Homo-oligomer: A and B are copies of this chain.
Amino acid sequence: MGDMTETLTHPTRSEIRIESVLHALADPVRLQIVRELARIGCDGVACGAIDLPVTKSTRTHHLRILRQAGVINVRPVGTSRISTLRRDDLDALFPGLLDSILAAPQ
């Protein structure tokens, strides 16, 4: 598919800010995405394969916010985009953050 104007930019590890990460995680849909990506693991998953109570365009919106915050990595594969959690980066920057959130009820 195409990135069109925005070239699938990811922040480097050192560019990730706790504020943006918290903001990205402070939405129920995005939290659901993160939980799902954590469950699936390193393989990642296509955006559309996660079942969510929102439309395609809203999905894209949430995935962009997660990507720009440095929470997920997105790489194009064929016509799909595979998303993965940036576990290593997040664990290195904010050790315990992701674990505590993923361990929380719901």
Contact = CB atoms under 8 A, between A and B. Distances in A.
Interface residues of A, number: 21
Interface in A70-106: 93-97, 99-101, 103-106
Q: Chain A contact residues: over half helix, strand or loop, or mixed?
A: helix
Contacts of A100: 94-97, 100
Interface of A: 17-19, 22-23, 25-26, 28, 31, 93-97, 99-101, 103-106
24 contacts: A17-B106, A18-B31, A18-B101, A18-B104, A18-B105, A18-B106, A19-B26, A19-B31, A19-B106, A22-B22, A22-B25, A22-B101, A25-B26, A26-B26, A93-B104, A94-B100, A94-B103, A95-B96, A95-B100, A96-B96, A96-B97, A96-B100, A97-B97, A97-B100
